[in-house]
Amino acid sequence: MEAFMEKKKKFHVRSKIWVQDEDGEVVFGLGRLRILEAIQRQGSIRAAAAELNMGYRAIWARIRATEERLGTSILEKKQGGRSGGGSCLTSMGERLARDFRILQNVVERETDHTFADTLEADLDEVGKMVLPQREK
């Protein structure tokens, strides 16, 4: 015998964007944005790596790949020593982080609005259906 159970689900849309070059290689995305923002906050790659639970080499490889694909520096490294060294974003790095954050916010906002105006009502209707459920 089957019992009926009301199924109530709320659906959400998600989107992910990134910039890639003509060869399909990632130039910049949310992960790299988080790296740059952590470096800005922490003042060094090592401290940013600790904050993000990433290895120094992993962060450095992503930064270097982005710089090579852009053809410009996004990070300025200061040598260690008594002053302790550190890293900061170049003006290009700052602009890249700022503008990508703006783009990400616009895409999320517009995706949410479009979803609300289109697909959400259909999915909500399905989510309210009464579906048969097998008895145990």
Q: Which domains does the chain have, with CATH numbers?
A: 2-134 (1.10.10.10)
Percent of the chain with pLDDT over 70: 83
Beta-carbon contacts of residue 19 (< 8 Å; ≥ 6 apart):
26, 27, 28, 29, 100
Q: What is the pLDDT of residue 35?
A: 98
* CB-based contact 28:19 (threshold 8 Å): yes
17 neighbors 104 (Cβ within 8 angstroms): yes
Q: Note the pLDDT tens digit of each residue in 79-128.
A: 775 567 899 999 999 999 999 999 999 999 999 999 888 888 777 776 66
Question: In the prediction, which pLDDT does 1 show?
Answer: 47
Judge contact between 30 and 16, C-beta under 8 A. Answer: yes
- Per-residue model confidence (pLDDT) at position 11: 80
Q: DSSP letter for 4, please.
A: E
pLDDT in tens, 35-64: 999 999 999 999 999 999 999 999 999 999
The encoded tokens of residue 122 equal: 């259909």
Contact of 135 with 5, CB cutoff 8 Å: no
CB 39 within 8 A of CB 89: yes
Q: CA–CA separation, 62 vs 55, rounded Å?
A: 11
pTM of the entire structure?
0.79
DSSP assignment string, 46-100: HHHHHHHT--HHHHHHHHHHHHHHHTS--EEEE--STT--EEEE-HHHHHHHHHH
d(CA 56, CA 45): 7
